[in-house]
Amino acid sequence: MGDLEPTDPSPETPAELPEGITLEDAERITELAEEDRRPSTRRVYRSKWSLFVSWCEKRGADPLPASE
């Protein structure tokens, strides 16, 4: 079975951050969240996220926020 990890899991342009959250804050939050996951779990999450983003793009939808 091949590696499911995307070649570039980061978006080309960053999503708009909530008010009061800096880019540094967002990066640290991401680091802390990823520390709690096994590498295989992160690969699966990235793969599923990539599939969801593709699904949204095909329908002209923005993947974030995923709900209203």
11-56 pLDDT tens trace: 554 568 888 889 999 899 888 877 777 788 878 989 999 999 999 9
Token reading at 61: 């939808």
User: How long a stretch of residues is the chain?
Assistant: 68
What letter represents residue 15's amino acid? A
Token reading at 53: 């983003």
Q: Where are the alpha helices (DSSP H) in 2-58?
A: 23-35, 39-58
CA dist., res. 4 & res. 13, Å (int):
22
- In sequence order, which residues have a C-beta less than 8 Å from that of residue 2 and are 6 or more positions away? none
pTM comes to 0.45
What letter represents residue 33's amino acid? A
